[in-house]
């Protein structure tokens, strides 16, 4: 819960309030249409002011050939000793999960 700050009087509160930034000078208030346009453009990726040329360009699919070159050898798993498996099993059984 908010409470009063000890040692601050009304003059201190006013000086703190007056020293804050004026956000209206940095960010202008947007109208409903401006907000809708921003949402359409940035969230829905629709450009309401676009011409038919840019709309037709959205449907173009460009495919480039992909060369697959494999210089790596296949991974070969090696069988571990049964004694290693037993040691690991004993260690895991000792854990309290």
pLDDT tens, residue by residue, 13-69? 899 888 888 888 888 888 999 999 999 999 888 865 554 444 444 556 667 666 776
pLDDT of residue 76: 74
User: Helices then strands (H, E): number in the chain?
Assistant: 5, 0
Q: What are phi and psi of 72, to 5 degrees?
A: -95, 150
CA–CA gap between residue 28 and residue 35 (Å, rounded): 12
Q: Which pLDDT score, from 0 to 100, does residue 37 have?
A: 92
pLDDT recorded at residue 55: 47
The pTM of the full predicted model, rounded to 2 decimals, is 0.29
């Amino acid at each position: 819960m908010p409470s009063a700050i000890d040692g601050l009087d009304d003059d201190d509160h006013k000086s703190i309030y007056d020293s804050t930034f004026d956000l209206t000078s940095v960010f202008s208030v947007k109208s409903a249409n401006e907000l809708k346009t921003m949402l359409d453009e940035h969230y829905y990726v629709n450009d309401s002011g676009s011409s038919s040329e840019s709309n037709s360009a959205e449907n173009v699919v460009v495919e480039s050939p992909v060369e697959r070159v494999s210089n790596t050898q296949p991974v070969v798993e090696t069988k571990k000793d049964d004694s290693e498996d037993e040691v690991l099993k004993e260690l895991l059984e000792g854990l309290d999960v």
